[in-house]
Every structure is written in C-alpha cells, then in structure tokens.
Amino acid sequence: MDAPGPTMLLIGGGHAHLAVLADWIRNGLPTPHAAILTPSKHLRYSGMVPGWISGEYSSDAGLVDVEALARKAGAEFIQDRCVSMDPFTNQVLTAEGRVLSFDLCSIDTGGVGRAGRILGADPRILDVRPIDGFVKRLHQRLGEGRVQRIAVIGGGAGGVELAFALRNMREPQARTEVVLVEGSEGLLPSFSGRVRKLVATELAVQGITIATDGARLVDGELLAGDQSLEPVDMIVTTLGSAAPDWPKASGLQTDAEGFIAVDRHQRSLSHNHIFAVGDVASRQDTHVSRSGVHAVHAGPLLAANLRAACNNEGPHKSYRPRPASLYLLSTANGSAIASYGPLAGQGRWAAKLKRWIDKRWVASYAELARDL
C-alpha cells in the first residue's frame, strides 16, 4: 500500500462496505489508492441461511463476491484479518503480520459471538456469529450423523427463524426435535403482540417446544432455569453481538460494552478520520439496533461521507432509522410471517416476497461484478 496520495482502508466486508464498493464501481474511486481488508472473499447473506438449512437454497445461493467487487472498483483486495490498530500512527496489524497504513479508515467487521461469555465452553455449541463459520460448522456437524435434538438459545428473530429451519431440515429420517429457549426477555421482545402470537402459534403447530427461562450450563448439563433440557445433541446460540476486543485495546473510544462510539455520520468520536458502521459500532446520538437491515440502509450514506472526507469535506449524510422496518420471518414450510410496526400477517405470499427481496439483493451485487 505504497501508492501516493490519500489511502482509504476498509476493514471488514460487511453489508455497509458492499454499498461503499458499489459506490466506487459506479462513481470511481474517491482517492488514488483504496483497499479492503477482510478474512473472506465472500460475504454470506445471513437472511438466506435458514433457507439453506431447510433445503430451499444451495449453500452458495447467499454469497456475494467481495473480491470481485473490489477488483471491479479498482481497489486492492487483502484477504486477512485485523487484529489491532494504532489510530494515532494510522496503522493496522493483520493476523498474518502485515502492517497496513491508511489516511482514512472505515470499519465494518461485525460483532463476535457471545456464547462463550454467557454459557461457557461446550463442544455442542454452534454460535451463529460469524455466520460463515456457523454454516461451515453446521454442515460438518450434520455430516457426522443424525442430530436428534437441538436447543436454539435466543428468542429474537434469528433464533425463531433458525428454530423453524432446523425443525424442517431436509433428510430422509423423522424431523429433528427442536426446543427454543427464549430467555428472560421473552419471545421477539421488539415485535408487536400480533407477530408474537402468530409465531407462538406456528411454533406450537410445528411441535417446537418453548422454554421461557434463561439457558445455562451446569457441569455439562443444559438447563433453562431449573429445568433440564437434556439430552441435547447440538446447541445453536443466537445471543446477539459482542464487541471484538481490538477496537477498545487500540485506543478508539467505545461505549460501555466495547463497541466503537460513533456520531450521526458514523465517525469515531475520538478519531475523526475513522468511521465505523454495523454491529461493531454504537451510535451515540440515537439508538440503532444491531440488525442487518440498518447496516444495509446506512451503507450508501457511509459511502457519501467517505467520499466527502477524501475531498477534505466534512461528512453530511446521516442514517435515520425508519419508525418501522419490514421483517419477514420464514417458517421453513413454504410460509412466512410478515411484520411492519403494529401490522402482521402470515402466508405463502410473505414467503414469496421474502425470496424476491433476498434474491434481488444478492443479484444486484452479482450484476455489478459481472463484467469481470
């Protein structure tokens, strides 16, 4: 990375950085030299993972080719992982020992799994974060033999969709038994009562048991409160994101949980030449939940702010979450449950809409890279 002039470094290949690469493809690089540092050549779209589990999609259906997008944009692609940063000397150390310099930097690495911190160690645990690692581990685990009973820990949207998908895995034997541990916050705590009722009814129809108390491991035994959930062959955890250790250790200002503290322009509160977005960041001016839908919508605005910064202009774009967002929860049996604020509905139409939205999003990036 010895090119003259300002150097832009993207760390992580998350949803928002895909939008930045798309902006560079459409409008040209905003700086003489730009690079993206990310561990994988592809981003796996988490919204299509339940469909892969239930047999609706192939394992490659939800992949976006980040390397191809970077090449099309004229940016350097570096397949490696950031392990530390010095925001004062503007250098990044990678897992392979490379030292990368930058003038401007944007971070979209996502969070890390919380299962180890909350439950402790157990060989049966598969944390959904990072999602690509989860897919690989689940594929390997299912290939090792019959999985008769699975506990899904976490009553949010991700846990609900995975519970449905795992219950409906394609296999010649009888369907796998699934128990969903919703925990102290209950089932889908941020959704309307109508959506929670539809989901609870569908869980009952499909024979998915709900455990209402929080999960814990005691001497290798999985408990929900004082109730034993054993025997359990696999523990799938959807407990939300934790912050990686390196941002706080690097001297970036973080919130109390270690997420990078940013302003309404996604700019670091402590270092105004560094931006952060998605699950690794924490907006300090307003609450933005850690959901992929927000990272997708914030991406184009981040691209505009990075372009302005390259031109020595102040950032001017800010992502404002909508009062309500559309969520489509697949029930993995040809139907889905739609949620938009207080509105809710269920049917095959919702599943068709979800497939159309998901496939269109992935296809839009394939089209951008198609000329390579």
Contact 283, 264 (CB under 8 A): yes
The neighbour count for residue 200, using CB atoms within 10 Å, is: 16
Express each pLDDT in 215-250 by its tens digit.
999 999 999 999 999 999 999 999 989 999 999 999
Are the C-beta atoms of residues 229 and 223 closer than 8 Å to each other? yes
Q: How far apart are the first and last CA of the chain?
A: 23
Do 48 and 358 form a contact (C-beta atoms < 8 A)?
yes
| pLDDT tens-place string over residues 44-62 | 999 999 999 999 999 889 9
pLDDT at 293: 81
Place of tokens 């390997």: 140
| Distance in angstroms (rounded) separating the CA atoms of residues 260 and 268 | 7
DSSP helix/strand/coil, 192:
coil
pLDDT at 175: 76
pLDDT of residue 322: 83
Please tell me the pTM assigned to this model. Answer: 0.93
pLDDT value at residue 67: 97
Q: Which two tokens stand for residue 204?
A: 């009952």
* Residues facing residue 207 across a β-bridge: none
pLDDT in tens, the chain (372 residues): 444 445 999 999 999 999 999 999 999 999 999 999 999 999 999 999 999 999 999 988 999 999 999 999 999 999 999 999 999 999 999 999 999 999 999 999 999 999 988 999 999 999 999 998 999 999 999 888 888 999 999 999 999 999 999 999 976 456 799 999 998 889 999 999 999 999 999 999 999 999 999 899 999 999 999 999 999 999 999 998 999 999 999 999 999 999 999 999 999 999 999 999 999 999 999 988 877 788 888 999 999 999 999 998 988 889 888 888 899 999 999 999 999 999 999 999 999 999 999 999 999 999 998 865
Q: What is the pLDDT of residue 4?
A: 43
d(CA 11, CA 276): 9
Residues 6+ apart with CB under 8 A from 261: 252, 253, 254, 255, 268, 269, 270, 281, 282, 284
Checking 60-65 for CB contacts under 8 A at 24+ apart, the result is 61/359, 61/362, 62/358, 62/362, 63/362, 64/18, 64/362, 64/365, 64/366, 65/41, 65/365, 65/366, 65/369
Determine the pLDDT at residue 170. 78
